[in-house]
């Protein structure tokens, strides 16, 4: 890292998201939204403070334990889709289940049925055996949404899931995300610049320069 030295990205941030609700995180570019999501999802530890998901204090776990916790309980949708290019849509969605320890892994048939059902519900059933490069951006992101739900996570984080999409493809991604979230009863945390999307969430957290500027619970 050129220049070295330490930069505090988030300062004094404290927030609580009730289980089963939806939350939106908004704020200008560089305000720390992605950093916050990574910390809440257990992708990286905070330099100080605590992150508790359900009964589990993520900050008390080793990196390996955090990885196991994420695999079982946390889903993530990235702005840039992050599908594996050499795997088909169906294989991408099955992968999180295949990575579970053998004792927790469904059998082949169940695994495939679960993945297919999710792809159907996000409207990509006709693209099961296509590679990501053969799909539109919106289709890729809907595959990524199906993948995020496949292991039945308790909480799902989406970082600007429509940021790389046109309005129409973005709307279909959001429909899929909201539909699955409702039917699976997941807690959903979405970073978004889309105020309409934010307004559909139970809570909106607004950031500025690493500080939580406001929190609104919507009626
Ligand atoms: N690994 C890193 N090392 C140093 N600075 C970083 C790192 N990641 C992010 N930052 C800085 O932290 C701030 C917040 O980044 P980020 O969380 O990506 O913001 P946002 O998602 O709101 O655009 C930015 O100023 C960014 O340059
Ligand atoms: Mg970001």
Kindly state the average pLDDT of the residues 160-184: 94
Kindly state the average pLDDT of the residues 4-15: 81
Which ligand is in closest contact with the Cα of 163?
A: 2
Residues in Cβ contact with 100 at an 8 Å cutoff, skipping those fewer than 6 apart? 71, 72, 151
Question: What pTM did the predictor assign?
Answer: 0.92
Tell me what the pLDDT averaged over the chain comes to: 92
Which ligand is in closest contact with the Cα of 35?
A: 1
Model pLDDT, residue 213: 82
Model pLDDT, residue 130: 98
Rounded Cα distance, 168 and 112, in Å:
29
Model pLDDT, residue 1: 42
Please, which residues bridge with residue 24 across strands? 190, 204
Kindly state the average pLDDT of the residues 48-77: 95
State in Å: Cα 157 to ligand 2 middle: 12
Binned at pLDDT 50, 70 and 90, residue 136 comes out as: very high
Which ligand is in closest contact with the Cα of 39?
A: 1
Kindly state the average pLDDT of the residues 16-31: 93
Assigned CATH for 22-217? 3.40.50.300
Whose alpha carbon is nearest atom 18 of ligand 1?
34
Q: Which range (27-31, 61-65, 158-162, 207-211) has the least confidence?
A: 207-211
Task: Indicate the SS3 state at residue 188.
Answer: strand
Rounded Cα distance, 187 and 190, in Å:
10
Q: In the chain, which residue ranges form alpha helices assigned H by DSSP? A: 33-40, 63-73, 89-98, 108-121, 137-149, 167-184, 195-199
Model pLDDT, residue 219: 58
State in Å: Cα 125 to ligand 2 middle: 30
Rounded Cα distance, 197 and 193, in Å:
8
Q: Which atom of ligand 1 is nearest to the CA of 31?
A: 22
Binned at pLDDT 50, 70 and 90, residue 8 comes out as: confident
Instruction: Give the residue from 127, 138, 145 showing the smallest Cα distance to 87.
Output: 127
Rounded Cα distance, 110 and 203, in Å:
35
- Going from N- to C-terminal start, the domains of the chain cover 22-217
Model pLDDT, residue 3: 56
pLDDT greater than 50 at residue 75: yes
Kindly state the average pLDDT of the residues 13-21: 92
Binned at pLDDT 50, 70 and 90, residue 4 comes out as: low
For residue 30 and ligand 1, the question of a CB distance below 6 A is answered with yes
Q: Which atom of ligand 1 is nearest to the CA of 27?
A: 22
For residue 5 and ligand 1, the question of a CB distance below 6 A is answered with no
For residue 40 and ligand 1, the question of a CB distance below 6 A is answered with no
State in Å: Cα 219 to ligand 2 middle: 27
Q: Which range (103-107, 124-128, 149-153) has the least confidence?
A: 103-107
Rounded Cα distance, 98 and 136, in Å:
26
Rounded Cα distance, 186 and 96, in Å:
17
State in Å: Cα 145 to ligand 1 middle: 24
pLDDT greater than 90 at residue 25: yes
The CA-CA-CA angle for residues 102, 185, 19, to 5°, reads 100
Considering only residues 216 and 35, tell me which one the structure prediction assigns the higher pLDDT.
35
Strands 74-77 and 155-159: parallel
State in Å: Cα 160 to ligand 1 middle: 15
Chain center to CA of 94: 16
Model pLDDT, residue 59: 95
State in Å: Cα 41 to ligand 2 middle: 14
Kindly state the average pLDDT of the residues 182-203: 92
Rounded Cα distance, 85 and 115, in Å:
17
């Amino acid at each position: 890292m050129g220049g070295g030295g330490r930069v505090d990205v988030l300062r004094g941030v404290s927030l609580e998201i009730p289980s089963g609700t939806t939350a939106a995180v908004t704020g200008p570019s560089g305000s720390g939204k992605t950093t916050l999501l990574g910390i809440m999802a257990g992708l990286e530890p905070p330099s100080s403070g605590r992150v508790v998901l359900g009964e589990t204090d993520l900050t008390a776990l080793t990196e390996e334990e955090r990885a196991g916790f994420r695999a079982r309980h946390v889903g993530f949708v990235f702005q840039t889709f992050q599908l594996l290019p050499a795997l088909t849509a169906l294989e991408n969605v099955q992968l999180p289940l295949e990575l579970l320890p053998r004792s927790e892994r469904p059998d082949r048939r169940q695994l495939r049925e679960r993945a297919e059902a999710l792809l159907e519900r996000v409207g990509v059933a006709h693209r099961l055996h296509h590679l990501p490069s053969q799909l539109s951006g919106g289709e890729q992101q809907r595959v990524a949404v199906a993948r995020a739900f496949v292991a039945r996570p308790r909480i799902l984080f989406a970082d600007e899931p429509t940021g790389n999409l046109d309005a129409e493809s973005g709307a279909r991604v959001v429909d899929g995300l909201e539909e699955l979230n409702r039917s699976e009863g997941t807690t959903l945390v979405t970073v978004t610049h889309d105020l309409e999307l934010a307004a559909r969430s139970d809570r909106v957290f607004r950031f500025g320069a690493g500080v939580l500027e406001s929190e609104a619970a919507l009626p």
